[in-house]
Each structure stands twice: as C-alpha cells, then as structure tokens.
C-alpha cells in the first residue's frame, strides 16, 4: 500500500494522473454497474419466502437442502442460520482440498456435531496439488494471470459433487454462501456481461461459450496447458458455478439458492456466531476472510503483482461503497490484514515449489 495512490472514496488504486479527481479513475467508483451490484440491500421477506419454498420442496424427502460448506467464515455462519434459525433439515457437504487448513477440518467436525447435522465430506480430484503446482510453475515463467485461476480449477469440481450428492439423497435444493462484497473487478477470469440477470440460462449459455473461446486462445498461447485441458474445460465451463448450463441440464429438478443474495451479510453478527460455535482461526491468518484456503495467499500475491491491488482491497472497497464500513476503518484494517507470508510459503510448499517462487513485494 505504501507508494500507491488510492481512490479518495474507496481504497482501490487509481492512475496517478495529476489533473484528475481520483474517484474518476477508480474502476469501482466509476462503474455504475458494479455499484448497483454491491448496493442491493438485504431483503428479509424475500429470504423467508425462499426458505419456505425450500421447505415445501423438501416435504416428503428426508432432507430439505444440501449446504455447500467450505468450513470458512461465511458458509459456517450460513449453515448455523439455516439449521438453528430457519429449522431446515440440512445435509452439509464439506469440500476438502489439499489447501484446507487442519483447524478448518477440526472446526467442521466439531460444529457438525454441535448442530447435530448430517455431514458428508468430499475431496477435490487427487491431482489437485499437481495441477496447482503445474499452473504456478507456468505462471512463474509466463506471468499469464489466467494461470492463477486455472491453478484453482480442481475446486470447481466441488460444484459437480454438491449436485451429485443432492441427487443421490433426493434433495431438491443446494444452498451456496457466496457474498456480493467479494466481487473482484477485472480479475483475469471475469467475463463481463452487463445484464440485469447475470445468471439466466441465456446469459450462462453466452458466458460458457465466451469461456470456451477464451480457453482456445489460452491453449494456443500456452500449448503446455494442453496436458490438463480436460480438467480446465470441465472446471471453467461445465462446473464453473452452480448456474452453469451443464449443471442445469444434468440436474433439472434441483434448485440452487444463494443465501447472501437476500440475507444480510454482517461481519459482527457472523463473528459472534463463529465464537459461539467454537470456530478456530487457522494459524498464520490475520483475518477471517478466506481462512479456509491457504492457496488464497498465492492468488492474492499474484493478483497484487498483476493488478496492483489485493482481494482485501477490492472487498473493503465494496464494503465502503455499500455503507458497511468507513474508509478509515478499511485503511486501518488493510494495515494489519496484508497477505500472510507463512500461508504463502505453506501454499508454495504444498505445490512443490520453492518458498520464494512467488514473492511478496510491496
Ligand atoms: Zn473508488
């Protein structure tokens, strides 16, 4: 953050041209579409209506919903609310990866017991670390930002497993806990479709086709990636998210529901419940955000090198613009919550790379 000129409204870096007002150059403050996206207010009535619909669909079945649980902050709070507040009969599906810290695994086990819910543990494909390491090695040679996203390809297989589990148990709804404040502008994998309904079937057809075309371009530019092209294809088209064309056509009777698209996301309430549940912050974490994955430190470092800002800067900017925190609070937190060096080294070690393969530079 030291020598960076940042927007005077949020905390994203801006081009330092002398005659302009800072926020005019800001990719968030200057984008009405993004501001609209993060400014959607929680809607409790709509949330309750959706919960009732999930309950109705689950009637006559052993469970109401499958909950996508990473063991991290947001999905743990969501699971608690669904079980305790809304009394849904949940099956929690915990997707474990080679980058899931042991503290998270332990928390998942003890919290599932406390909440008395059925827990199903799934794992990402066995070559997850190998692919992540391969992409990182390529990244250190080429610095192509998309390689950092491809390194995470194996995690997308969790989407497929969630629907598969729901299907097996005759569950009619899969619930996800992503929140809109995590939206990251200009990430290398983002495909912008300016539209009212980003996830309509039609828009997802366009999105999936755009990703295919982009994929061909990447393979042409970096033929070495052909080695894992089937994994990359599945991850970035078939299982890219819960709205993909493939998952819709393959599981037409299963609905998907994004809890935080209607529920309030409030950090203080979330932290209070995590404390009550005995959720442990993994070693080396300086924030609860993305505590469930050590690879986050690699991703964050690479994006900072590429774009000049971190995920935390993007998220705090979103929180400022939606009125959740003040700019000075965000600045104070960014001082303390930088990229964790121990986590970065741990992730590189897991990928089979030297500890200094990707370095933290300010
Ligand atoms: Zn700004």
- Reduced to 3 states, what is the DSSP secondary structure of residue 123? strand
Q: What is the DSSP letter of 267?
A: H
pTM passes above 0.75: yes
Predicted confidence (pLDDT) at residue 188 exceeds the cutoff of 60 = no
- Reduced to 3 states, what is the DSSP secondary structure of residue 162? helix
- Reduced to 3 states, what is the DSSP secondary structure of residue 237? helix
Predicted confidence (pLDDT) at residue 2 exceeds the cutoff of 60 = no
State how far Cα 226 lies from the chain centre. Answer: 26
The residue among 288, 295, 293, 261 whose CA lies nearest residue 183 is 261
Q: What is the mean pLDDT of residues 272-279?
A: 98
User: What is the distance between the alpha carbons of residues 271 and 359, in angstroms, rounded to a whole number?
Assistant: 31
Give the distance (Å) from ligand 1 centre to CA of residue 288: 24
| Tens digits of residue pLDDT in 120-137 | 999 999 999 999 999 999
Segment among 52-56, 316-320, 355-359 with least mean pLDDT: 355-359
Give the distance (Å) from ligand 1 centre to CA of residue 337: 20
The residue among 97, 254, 45 whose CA lies nearest residue 170 is 254
Question: What are the φ/ψ torsions at residue 76 (nearest 5 degrees)?
Answer: -70, -45
Give the distance (Å) from ligand 1 centre to CA of residue 117: 42
Q: What's the pLDDT at 43? A: 94
Pairing verdict, β 65-69 and 90-96: parallel
Give the distance (Å) from ligand 1 centre to CA of residue 27: 7
Residue in the block written with tokens 């009637």: 59
Give the distance (Å) from ligand 1 centre to CA of residue 107: 36
Predicted confidence (pLDDT) at residue 45 exceeds the cutoff of 70 = yes
Describe the crossing of helices 267-277 and 102-115 by its angle, rounded to 10 degrees. 80
Banded model confidence at residue 310, pLDDT cuts 50, 70, 90 = confident
- The token duo for 235 is 């991850």
Give the distance (Å) from ligand 1 centre to CA of residue 321: 8
Contacts of 80 (CB under 8 A, 6+ apart): 111, 115, 273, 277
Banded model confidence at residue 1, pLDDT cuts 50, 70, 90 = very low
Predicted confidence (pLDDT) at residue 96 exceeds the cutoff of 80 = yes
Q: What's the pLDDT at 193? A: 47
Give the distance (Å) from ligand 1 centre to CA of residue 37: 15
User: What is the distance between the alpha carbons of residues 130 and 1, in angstroms, rounded to a whole number?
Assistant: 33
Give the distance (Å) from ligand 1 centre to CA of residue 336: 21
Give the distance (Å) from ligand 1 centre to CA of residue 320: 9
Banded model confidence at residue 40, pLDDT cuts 50, 70, 90 = confident
Q: What's the pLDDT at 22? A: 60
Give the distance (Å) from ligand 1 centre to CA of residue 54: 38
Give the distance (Å) from ligand 1 centre to CA of residue 30: 7
- Reduced to 3 states, what is the DSSP secondary structure of residue 203? helix
């Amino acid at each position: 953050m030291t020598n960076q000129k940042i927007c005077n409204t949020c905390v994203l870096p801006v081009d330092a041209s002398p005659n302009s007002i800072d926020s005019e150059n800001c990719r968030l403050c200057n984008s009405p579409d993004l501001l609209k996206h993060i400014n959607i207010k929680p809607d409790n009535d709509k949330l309750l209506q959706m919960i009732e619909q999930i309950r109705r669909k689950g009637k006559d079945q052993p469970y109401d919903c499958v909950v996508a649980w990473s063991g991290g902050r947001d999905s743990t709070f969501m699971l608690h609310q669904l079980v305790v507040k809304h009394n849904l009969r949940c099956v929690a599906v915990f997707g474990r990866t080679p980058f899931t810290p042991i503290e998270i695994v332990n928390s998942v086990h003890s919290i599932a017991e406390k909440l008395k819910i059925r827990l199903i543990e799934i794992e990402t494909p066995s070559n997850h670390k190998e692919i992540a390491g391969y992409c990182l090695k390529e990244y250190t040679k080429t610095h192509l930002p998309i390689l950092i996203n491809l390194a995470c390809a194996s995690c997308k297989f969790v989407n497929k497993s969630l629907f598969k589990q729901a299907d097996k148990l005759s569950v009619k709804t899969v619930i996800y806990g992503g929140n809109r404040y995590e939206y990251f502008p200009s990430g290398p994998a983002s495909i912008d479709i300016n539209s009212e309904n980003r996830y309509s079937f039609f828009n997802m057809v366009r999105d999936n086709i755009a990703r295919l075309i982009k994929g061909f371009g990447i393979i042409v530019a970096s033929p070495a990636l052909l080695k894992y092209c089937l994994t990359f294809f599945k991850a970035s088209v078939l299982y890219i998210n819960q709205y993909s064309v493939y998952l819709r056509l393959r599981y037409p009777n299963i609905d998907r529901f994004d809890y935080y698209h209607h529920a309030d996301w409030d950090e203080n309430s979330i932290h209070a419940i995590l404390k009550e549940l005995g959720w442990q912050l993994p070693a080396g974490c300086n924030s609860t955000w993305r505590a469930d994955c050590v690879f986050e430190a690699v991703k964050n470092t690479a994006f900072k090198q590429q774009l000049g800002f971190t995920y935390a800067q993007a998220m705090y900017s979103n929180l400022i613009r939606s009125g959740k925190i003040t700019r000075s609070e965000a600045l104070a937190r960014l001082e303390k919550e930088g990229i964790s060096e121990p986590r970065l080294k741990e992730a590189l070690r897991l990928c089979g790379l030297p500890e200094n393969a990707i370095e933290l530079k300010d």
